[in-house]
Amino acid sequence: MKHISAVIIAGNASRTIARALQSLEAFPEIVVYANGSDNTAEIAETFPNTRVVRGDFVGFGPTRNRAAEHASNDWIFSIDADEYLDRELVDALSTVDLSDPNVAYAVERRNLFMGKLVTRGGWGNDWLVRLYNRKRCRFNDAVVHEEVDVPRGCRTVRLRGALWHEAVTDLDQILQKISRYSELRRRGGTETYPPAFILLRSFWAFFRSYVLEAGFLEGWRGVVIAFGNATGTFFRHMKRYADKAVAAERAAAQPSSKAVLRPGPR
């Protein structure tokens, strides 16, 4: 573990940060990049192997890269403040081969919805690259749904064990996430669609999650996941459309800048 730095970006994560850090007790170095307003940083500072760095949030991908710059090691294990490692994954990380920087390691994330493991509706088979050498790999610049870019010439190896993700502990979190993610996407792009097409995409998001990805087998949780996907899709695109439509309306309401010349008396 002495050659791996665990790195966490943490906003207002006071409810989950302690469990995440407890699962990382075998790591000599943990960097917590704190960017929220609650007492997450104060909780993290009580752990002897943890160093807190305060900074701005500039989108998920860029912020993860900023956080990794503060690590002492080139090998980075990136996790979220609402995730924690099981014993098998800790053992796998303690014996992982770090001799080749051209290898990136993926872990299986298992998502919990209010205490229950959910594997359908788009939440299953969730393998993510989380251990990488920063000299060869980095997170992409996506503001939402970022991932580690594994360049040509590198390969990905899967580790045993699991990274448990407390994805939803309260339904209000889904609404907050929809608002936050749609706002990040609103600022991060310019592509717009007409309302009818936005509705179509939203219906498709629900159908894909609930029917094609078997979300209906998860009971009421599957309904919430599918509806959340549809709502997120709707507001992600509608916010951009509304911005463009309002700007056009305001421009049309402005008086013409050209002066009207009237003939004077002869």
Per-residue pLDDT tens over the stretch 107-151: 999 999 999 999 999 999 999 999 999 999 999 999 999 999 999
Q: Percentage of residues in the chain with pLDDT exceeding 70?
A: 95
Q: Are 39 and 147 contained in the same domain?
A: yes
Pairing verdict, β 116-118 and 155-168: unpaired
Q: What is the mean pLDDT of residues 252-261?
A: 66
Looking at 168, 197, 228, the residue that finishes a domain is 168
Q: What is the pLDDT of residues 217-236, one digit of tens each?
A: 999 999 999 999 999 999 99
Asked whether the beta carbons of 209 and 225 are under 8 A apart, the reply is yes
| Entry pTM | 0.88
Asked whether the beta carbons of 117 and 111 are under 8 A apart, the reply is yes
Q: Are 131 and 224 contained in the same domain?
A: no
For residue 266, the model assigns a pLDDT of: 53
- Cα–Cα dist 170/159, whole Å: 30
Q: Are 121 and 183 contained in the same domain?
A: no
Q: What is the pLDDT of residues 174-208, one digit of tens each?
A: 999 999 999 888 876 678 899 999 999 999 999 99
Q: Are 189 and 121 contained in the same domain?
A: no
Type of residue at 176 = Q
Domain around 238:
172-253
Is residue 119 included in any domain, yes or no? yes
For residue 189, the model assigns a pLDDT of: 67
Stretch (H or E) spanning 62 = helix 60-68
CATH number of the domain at 63, please. Answer: 3.90.550.10
For residue 1, the model assigns a pLDDT of: 86
For residue 36, the model assigns a pLDDT of: 84
Looking at 153, 168, 183, the residue that finishes a domain is 168
For residue 55, the model assigns a pLDDT of: 94
